[in-house]
Chain A
Amino acid sequence: MNWEMVAFAFLGVLILASGFRVITTPRIVHAALYLALCFTGVAGIFLLLGADFLAATQVLIYVGAVTTLIIFAIMLSSPPEVRGEPARGSGPGGGEPARGAGPARGDEVLGGGPRPEGVQAERGWVGVLAALAALGFVAAMGVVYRGAGLPAQAASLGRTTAPLGRQIFTTYAIPFEVASVVLLAALVGAIYLSVRVPPRPSGTTPVSGPSHAGAGGEMPGEREGGANRGTP
C-alpha cells in the first residue's frame, strides 16, 4: 500500500462513477460537468504515470476546450427547456415570451414528457446494440491491455516535453500534419455550417464563427431583460 495505489484507486472510482453519471444524469448540464470531472480524473492518471505534459494537455484540451464547447452548445439552446424543468413562474409583468412555448418541446427532447411511439418501440433494439458495442469495446480493450499490470508503473522519463516536441517534429511529422489538416477541415466545415446569411438590411454584421456565437446568442436575452425592467 503506497500513495500511488491510493491515488490510483481514488481516481479509478472517480472516473468510473463520473462516467456513469454522464449517461445516467437527467440534466444535460450535469452530464457536461460530470464529463469534465471524468476528464480531470484521466489527467490525474496521466500524472500518476509520470506523463505530466499529457496531463496538462488533457486538462487544457478536454476540460478547457471540449467541455466548454459542450457548455456553449447547451447555453445557445434555450436554457429553461434544456433544464428539463417545468416552466418557471413568469415573473412580474410576465414578460418571458421566448419561454412561453418552451416546456413541452423540452420535455420531449429530454424524456420528461410523453414520448412519440416510434421512439418507445425502437428503444429495445438500440439498447441491445449499445450493449453489444460496449461489450465489443471491453473485449478489444482486454486484448490491447492483456498482460498490463494495474496500476501501471510510472515511466521514469524525466522531462517529457522536449522529447515529445522532437518526436512530433521529426518521426511523427506526417501524422501530426495530417491531424492538423483534419482539424482545419473541421474548422472550415464548422464555419460553413454556422454562417447564416441574414435577411437583415445592411449595417448589421453577419453572424459567423465561434466568437460571434456568444455575442449573437446573447442579444435577444439582453433585449428581453431591458424590456422587462421597464422605465427607470
Chain B
Amino acid sequence: MSIVSSLNALVGSLPGFWSPLVSALIKVLLVLAFVFGNEIMLIWLERKVCGRFQRRKGPMYVGRPEGWLQSIPDVVKLLAKEDIIPARADRWLFVLAPMVIMVPAVALFVVIPFGRGWVPRDLNIGILYLVALGSFTILSLFMAGWGSGNKWSTLGAMRAVAMLLGYEVPLALSLVGVAMVAGSLSLVDIVHAQERAWFVLLQPIGFLVFLVAAAAELNRTPFDLAEAEQELVAGYQVEYSGMRWAMFFVAEYASLMAISAIAATCFFGGWLGPFASGPWWFLAKLYFFIFLFMWVRWTFPRIRIDHMMELGWKFLLPVALLNIVLTGIGLAIWG
C-alpha cells in the first residue's frame, strides 16, 4: 500500500491540468501490464492443459522445465509474419476490427477490485458497465467477419452476433440477482457484501446460468461456433494473419481473464478468503476459473447452432428470470 500512497502523492503534486491524465495513464499501464503478463502464462497454460487432457505433454523445450517460455518465440514469430490484407476485404473494417476487440477486453478490468482498495476505478454502475462493454465485442466480431470479404468469415460473424446477442441477456440477468442481494452495482460493494457468505451459496442458480452464458460469451468450446474450424475454417478469423490475428488471440485471453475475474468477484468473494484476505485470494480464484474454462473447453464437443440458440433463449433466459423472482421472494422474507 505504501507504493500506492507514494504514487498518489506524486500524482497529486502535478499541476491540476495534468494530474488526472497521469494518474489515469499509470492505472492503464498497470492494468495492461497485469493483463499481458498473465496472458503469456495463460497461453502456455492452455497448451499444457490441452496437452494433458489429450494425453500428451504439450510444449517442453523452450524454457525448461515444462516449456514455460514457449509463448515468447511465438510472439516473435507472429510479429515477423507478413501482414496480409485480402484484396476483397473492406480495408477499414478489416484493420479496425482487431483494435476494437481489444477495447472491451482490457476495459473490463477498470472496475475489477484486485484487493481491498486495489481497484482502478470503483464505478457505482459496475455491473452495468461490464454488461455494456460486451456490446463492442459483438460489433468488432461483426466488423472482422464482414470486413474480410469471405463467406466463411461472414457466416462466422453472423453466428457470433446471434450467439453473443442470445447469451448477453442471460449473463446480464444472472448478475441482477447478485446486485439485488448486494444492494449495489459497484463491484467493491458486492465484495464487501460477501463478508458473511459468498454469493455462490446465496445465488447458486444465478452462478450456474452465469457460468454457461460466460462460456458462450467467451466463444470457447463448446460454444465456439463462430470459429468452428471444421465447418467454417476459423470463422471471422479466416483472413487474419500475423499480428492482426494475434490481437484477436490476445483479446480472447484477456476476456477469459476478465470473465473469470467477474466470476471470482461476484460469486466467490473477490479478495476475501477464509483467512488472510488479500489480492492473492483474488488471483487464486481467478486462476481457478481460468482452469475451469480450459477444462470445459478440452472436455466437451461443440454443440449444434440450433441447440445453442435454444439453450440460450428457451432455457437460460427463463431460468435467469426465475432466479430473479426467487431472489426477490428471498429478500422479501429474510432481507
Contacts and interface: CB of A to CB of B under 8 A. Distances in A.
Contacts, number: 111
B162 A221 contact: no
Interface string B121-144: 001110011011111101100110
A67 B143 CA distance: 12
Interface string B97-112: 0000000000000000
Contacts of A65: 135
A36 B143 CA distance: 12
Contacts of B88: 88
Contacts of A36: 139
Given A68-B165, A161-B125, A225-B152, A209 B313 contact: yes
Given A60-B135, A225-B151, A33 B143 contact: yes
Contact of B138 (A64, A159, A218): A64
A63 B135 contact: yes
A161 B184 CA distance: 9
Given A52-B124, A161-B124, A63 B139 contact: yes
B161 A75 contact: yes
Interface in A43-75: 52-53, 56-57, 59-60, 63-65, 67-68, 71-72, 75
B212 to A, nearest CB: 16
A150 interface: no
B152 A57 contact: no
A64 B132 contact: yes
B128 A53 contact: yes
A211 interface: yes
A79 interface: yes
A225 B93 CA distance: 24
A33 B231 contact: no
A2 B18 CA distance: 10
Looking at B146, B152, B163, the one whose CB has the most chain A CB atoms below 10 A away is B146
A39 to B, nearest CB: 9
Contacts of A225: 151-152, 155, 231
B312 A52 contact: no
Contacts of B154: 75, 79
B303 to A, nearest CB: 12
A112 B17 CA distance: 51
B305 interface: yes
B185 A161 contact: yes
Nearest to B21: A3
Nearest to B16: A2
B128 A56 contact: yes
A160 B139 CA distance: 28
Interface in A188-227: 209-215, 217-218, 221-222, 225
Contacts of B165: 68, 72, 210, 214
Contacts of B168: 64
A104 interface: no
Contacts of A52: 123-125
B306 interface: yes
A29 interface: yes
Nearest to A99: B151
A214 B132 contact: no
B166 A218 contact: no
Interface of A: 2-3, 27, 29-30, 33, 36, 52-53, 56-57, 59-60, 63-65, 67-68, 71-72, 75, 79, 88, 159-161, 209-215, 217-218, 221-222, 225
26 contacts: A29-B93, A33-B143, A36-B139, A52-B123, A53-B128, A56-B128, A56-B129, A60-B128, A60-B132, A67-B139, A68-B135, A71-B142, A71-B161, A72-B161, A75-B157, A160-B124, A161-B128, A209-B313, A210-B313, A211-B309, A214-B158, A214-B159, A214-B163, A225-B152, A225-B155, A225-B231
Given A60-B132, A65-B135, A215-B306, 9 more contacts: A52-B123, A53-B128, A57-B132, A64-B132, A67-B139, A79-B151, A88-B88, A159-B124, A212-B306
